[in-house]
Amino acid sequence: MGRYVLRRSLAIIPVLIGVTLLVFAAIHALPGSKVLSIVGFQVSPEMVARIESYYGLDQPMHVQYARYMGHLLSGDLGYSISRKSQVGSVLAPAVANTAILAGTGLVLAVLAGLIGGFAAAFHAGSPVDRGITSLMLIVGTAPPFWLALVLILVLSIQLELFPATGMYSPRGEPNLPDLLHHLVLPALAVAAQPAAIIAKVARSAMLEVRGAEFVTAARAKGLPRSRVFSGHVLRNVLSPIVTITGLQLGYLVGGVIFVEVVFGWPGIGFQLFQSILARDITLTMGASLIIAFAFVFVNFLADLINALLDPRHEVQ
């Protein structure tokens, strides 16, 4: 297990280096000077060149990249010219905000997915099963930003149940009930697709395991239903569910950007979106790295949990 952990940990490094190269090249490919966000357009090319030089943006690309990686290795994510702050200080609160949203979304997705999937499996072939499956199909294929706007329109504007934007009310001091109230709609938007996929997997896994011989044998032995479920069924359905949940969390973190932009949720996805618009190289790199790291790490964690749950998983 120790060697497995070490091997997987080391494998993260080339992935992250690849991300920095890709993002660096992509942002440089975008048209427009990287200082336009701060100087505007009524400025002469000579002045733009001077300001670029002031920020070291006139250096060759490989020099800029090498300098960035040098700072990164010492734990410095660089300076954001559009936010006038160290990238770390801009992204730290954003990461926390995304963690709140993604974490809540994941909990909702897992709960809804398990409840929906198990309910569908227990009532396989019935209208309940068909209803749940259809709902999951619609919800699972709807684009997150579209779903977010629909939720705002119906639950916020029409029914006036929840706020439409932001993380806290701009009036008064931030508090927990206010946060939870603002969290509902974005968490639902974020949870929808993963919930649908988890439900599908949960349903399939449950149907397969419930029909297995060892379950029949356990029932035949006279074990109570609850014991059969907890001791035999649950443990065997969890493995594929944990795998898919881990994968979904990775996609959830990446997909949260759309939801954050629509709801104005000040998370890392929102910061990434704004940094691209502003051509802020270091902020874009920093946000991309964090998202990439989160994606890879979460998948790694899911594999680890799976290995612990099911000793048959090959870890060599």
Partner 1 sequence: MLNFKRFTMGLLFGLVLFVTLPWTVQAAEDKTLVVAIEANMPGFDAHVICSYALYREIITMYEPLVTTDLTDADALPPKLVPALAERWEISPDATEVTFHIRKGVKFHDGTEVDADVVDWNFRRVWRKGEGEEAPQYYTAAAGGASFWSDSVKDIRVIDKHTIKVFLKHPFPEFVRQLYATTCGSFFVVSPAAVAKYGQEGLAKNPVGTGPFKFVEWVPGDRIVVERFDGYWGPPAKVDRIVFREFTNMAAMVAGFRRGELDIIPAVPPDNIALLRDDGFKVATNLVPNMIYLVLNLKDPVLKDVRVRRAMAMAIDKETLANKLLTDAAEAAHSIVSPGSPPYDPEFRSLPYDLEKAKALMREAGYGPDKRVTMHMPNPASGSGTIAPMPIAMAIQSNLSKIFIDLKVETLEWYGFISLLSRGLQPDAQILPMPWGMSTGYFTRQVLHSKKQPFSNYGWYSNPEVDRLLDEATSTPDLAKSKALFAQVNQIVVNEDVAVIPALIDLSPTAYQPYVKNFVLPHENWFVLHQVDIEK
Q: Does 316 engage in binding with partner 1 (CB under 8 A)? A: no
Rg of the chain on CA atoms, in Å: 24
Q: Is 288 in the site for partner 1 (CB under 8 A)?
A: no
Q: Which CB atom, from 42 or from 74, has the smaller least distance to partner 1?
A: 42
Q: Is 120 in the site for partner 1 (CB under 8 A)?
A: no
33 forms part of the interface with partner 1 (CB under 8 A): yes
Do the beta carbons of residue 307 and residue 4 sit within 8 Å?
Answer: yes
Question: Which residues between 222 and 261 bind partner 1 (CB under 8 A)?
Answer: 226-227, 229-230, 261
In the bound state with partner 1, the residue whose beta carbon lies nearer, of 166 and 254, is 166
Residues numbered 84 to 103 that lie near partner 1 (CB under 8 A) are 84-85, 90, 93-94
- Paired with 86 in beta bridges are 79
Among 144, 255, 266, 286, binds partner 1 (CB under 8 A): 266
- Tell me which stretch binds partner 1 (CB under 8 A): 4-12, 41-49, 61-69, 288-296: 41-49
Is residue 132 involved in binding partner 1 (CB under 8 A)? no
Judged by beta carbon, residue 117 or residue 250, the one nearer partner 1 is 117
Residue for token pair 């660096």: 24
Residue 142 and residue 161 in contact, taking contact as beta carbons nearer than 8 Å: no
Nearer to partner 1, 34 or 200 (CB): 34
The binding track of 143-172 with respect to partner 1, each residue x by CB under 8 A or -, is ------x--xx--xx--xx-xxxxx-xxxx
